[in-house]
Amino acid sequence: MTADAPLADGAVSSLGDRFGAPAAAPATSAITLYARGASAGFDRKVADALALLRDAGRRFSPITQASSLGVEDMVVTDLLQKSGIDASIFVLDTRKLHAETVALIGRLEAHYGRTVDVYTPDLAVAAAFVAENGEDAMYRSLGLRKACCDFRKMVPLERALAGKQAWITGLRREQSNARAEVHDIELQRIDGHDGASATRAKVNPLAGWTWGDVWHYVDLHGVPYSPLHDRFFPSIGCEPCTRAVTLGEDFRSGRWWWEQESAKECGLHVSQDAGADGDGAALEAPGFESLPGAVSSLADRPASHAAPVRPITVSTVPESSE
Ligand code: SF4
């Protein structure tokens, strides 16, 4: 496939041949800046992450990784490879990604010798939205921004996760206040656009990792990563909605920077504490039963992975780990 070849509406395809080799690394790389900052428990965290993935691979099938192609997700892909579990990897190509991000799909495929599934939005819906609201609609109101995230991310994600028992993300508690409660494994009830509900496990092997841990791992294992990280983009999303940050700014401050902090999720990982909003009772029994064996088997996990399995619910289908 060539770089400008249009994908069919909602297509799933490999973009491995879409772009060429990465640009040369700049004089100051993210590895130089961050890789020395691993925490004291780094080796234990790596071992725990691998054990968590292997355990999830035994418990849940099919299982898939949602990759934004940010550095955390690249580390998760590397851990997946080392774990040996049978998990697919998918990317949501919103058609608004940086060229560097799209190019990384091909680099990942070449590095690991495997195929990435790419999900796109409905191109007719995208064209109609742009015709009505313009290319810069996301800056004009929160409603328009969320509408854009909905058809470019949420709807494709719903397709990517259809039929999956679990998905793996690169979420870390350190990333933002909104992610401070991320657990190793969470069980979600998903209310889809079609009105149907499902329960799915979300596996977060880097939940307790620091930014320094992530980059130390990249350095140790030669993990490919986006050159945007070398240009001070700690969090990578769509091009119109992501900017570089300066020293001292929060990890997520480069995302939707014109919005209030509390609005800064696109819905993929937005959750509510099931016990706090009255939905907990609905989740505790019937929701879990739709994953046969999941709850009881999770309770049997090794002591090092006996983190509480947290029930959460989402208003619609969840987000990739960007
Ligand atoms: S992050 Fe920005 S460009 Fe991407 S889907 Fe959301 S609003 Fe649209």
What CA dihedral angle connects 21, 15, 215 and 44, to 10 degrees?
Answer: -140
* 138 Cα nearest atom in ligand 1: 7
Ranges of H-type helices in 115-268 = 123-133, 142-149, 155-161, 211-221
What pLDDT, on a 0 to 100 scale, did the predictor assign at position 270? 55
pLDDT in tens, the chain (322 residues): 333 333 333 444 333 333 333 444 455 899 998 998 899 999 999 999 999 999 999 999 999 999 999 999 999 999 999 999 999 999 999 999 999 999 999 999 999 999 999 999 999 999 999 999 999 999 999 999 999 999 999 999 999 999 999 999 999 998 767 677 899 999 988 777 777 777 899 999 999 999 999 999 999 999 999 999 999 888 889 999 988 887 667 766 777 777 766 555 555 665 533 222 222 222 222 222 223 323 223 333 333 333 344 544 443 333 334 5
Residue 266 falls in the annotated catalytic set:
yes
d(Cα 238, Cα 96) in Å, to the nearest integer?
5
- Cβ-based burial of 196 (10 A; exposed 0-12, middle 13-18, buried ≥19): exposed
pLDDT value of position 284: 26
Give the nearest ligand 1 atom to 266 CA.
Answer: 6
Could you tell me the distance, in angstroms and rounded to a whole number, from the CA of residue 50 to the centre of ligand 1? 32
| pLDDT in the model for residue 264 | 57
pTM exceeds 0.75: yes
Catalytic entry in 148, 238, 241, 266:
266
Element spanning 314, H or E: strand 310-314
Indicate if ligand 1 lies below 6 Å from the C-beta of 107: no
Asked whether 145 lines ligand 1 (CB < 6 A), one says yes
Place of tokens 């140790």: 220
Whether 320 lines ligand 1, by a CB cut-off of 6 Å, is no
Distance (angstroms) between ligand 1 centre and the Cα of 170 equals 19
Dist CA 98 CA 132 (whole Å): 24
CA dist., res. 36 & res. 31, Å (int):
8
CA nearest ligand 1 atom 6, residue: 149
